[in-house]
Structure 1
């Protein structure tokens, strides 16, 4: 019930959010926002919802799948509620 209520309250803002995401994507394409090429492929798993959406099982599945195909995956997490802004060398 609570999820449905939140969905209904947020629904009117969906077009605005979509428009902002398209503008953001355009800024990246035009070079207004900085991007960085990394020396290794990166897969990011996440969303705006905390807990219960299956992110951890998905990461476990992807890591196992990559291992089975001969890759050496590394999983990096800021942890629940993590908010560090400093660079960390891995």
Structure 2
């Protein structure tokens, strides 16, 4: 995450992934970033609906139904005050 944050500096970072197991590295990514990283889990494809995955891995900060939802979303609704990480 530090490499991404260094290359694309921002007050907040957002990681969107439909596999909760990859965001198993989410904990490692969130550790140095603390509240600057918001994880988003789109519930699509077979990974997102697998009960075994949902039971084993910790939830993301935000769950959406489709990966394209943030493109048309009101950021205030999605992230609280309009900035990622303040959900």
TM-score with structure 2 length normalisation? 0.32
Give the number of the structure whose residues are more often strand, by fraction: 2
Higher relative contact order (CA 8 A, sep 6+): 2
Larger radius of gyration: 1
